[in-house]
Structure 1
Amino acid sequence: MTRPWLLSTAHEPADAPPPRPGRALPAAVLFDRDGTLVADVPYNGDPARVALMPGAREAVDAVRAAGVPVGVVTNQSGLARGLLTRRQVQDVRLRVEELLGPFAVWAVCPHGPGDGCGCRKPAPGLVLAACRSLGVPPGRTVVIGDIGADVAAARAAGARGVLVPTAATRPAEVAESGTTAADLPEAVRLALTPAVPAGEAR
């Protein structure tokens, strides 16, 4: 199987506000999981080990408050390596949603680095699959992540990427990212700020 795995879609809360008028908000904001929303525990299949990254709740709440759908795009090669089961990935997803609320879509790459799929970041497949599921154009989508592969996947899909560097982020990834933020709340502020075309005055 070379396609990404779309986990059962959790609907946004029914009382989520509509998009604010008069602003060119993104059609969706997609977050990387490990190292972005939650601490990176390699091949984690234990919900008890899920710990939020600083500012994660504030950041996700801010996107929802703007009336913009939120999703998750995550590589999970532990599935291909036999270190994780789908049930474990689902259990971790449920724990993340206990802490952060429901996401409109989860797009998961279950393949390993050598499987030749088109969904493992930095390939664009996860971003494109999430956008299809949400019915939004990639060109109006923002991807927030902690490593260069997240930003590269966004770029390859035609989306905007915002990098939130951590200790695991290489200096070259920061230099090549284009847009960086000190933390998740700042990344969301950048995501919700309409991009200004080059040469156009603010």
Structure 2
Amino acid sequence: MMTNLFSSFDPTTKMNLTLNWTSIFLGLLILPSMYWIVPSRMNILWIKMCLTLNKEFKVILKIKNMKKSMLIFMSLFSLILFNNLLSLFPYIFSSTSHLVLTLTLSLPLWMSFMIYGWFNNTIHMFTHLVPQGTPTILMPFMVCIETISNIIRPGTLAIRLTANMIAGHLLLTLMGSTGSKISFIMLNILIMSQLLLLMLESAVAIIQSYVFSILSTLYYSEVN
């Protein structure tokens, strides 16, 4: 029983189990099916999407040996995409709506970028603290502002993904909870509006996984 609106995002309130976090690995059960019959429609769609992302990442990274880097960001995109889409199904725990997961993804990435950048490209990292053309009197303030904006990057990455996933799920929960209290005509309107909202949430799930991976790629490109 849902005691309040936000309890649907609590991993301990669904069926009184703490195994809801295993929903992160449900995407692994879907992935092998696309390789049974090659080329399948799902396989062709996935390859086209990967090639499109590959072109996007190539423009941002601008490095010759990028295979390992591409693998990291493509895996990150796939993980977030599968979890976002799976959370739209009934009775599947929404793991990407928790800061525990999103910070686990963004914080180690940001830390690794910073450690790599400051140890290998120290002068390059210092130049990023003062944008080109900054007046001399404003340089100390710009260093403080750029330092703070750099520190809060993993938080903004995590909160952006969490807030977007929570907002849509809350709206769907609110609309669905009123279904037993309205007339038949209003119920039909409610179902149609929920279907449209579900289509919007599917687009948001794809866009947010793309935004997370693209921003991570941008942060990586700044330390090279």
Interval containing the TM-score (normalised by the shorter chain) = under 0.3
Greater helix share, structure number: 2
Greater strand share, structure number: 1
Higher relative contact order (CA 8 A, sep 6+): 2
Instruction: Name the TM-score, length of structure 1 as normaliser.
Output: 0.24
State the structure with more CA Rg: 2
Instruction: Name the TM-score, length of structure 2 as normaliser.
Output: 0.22
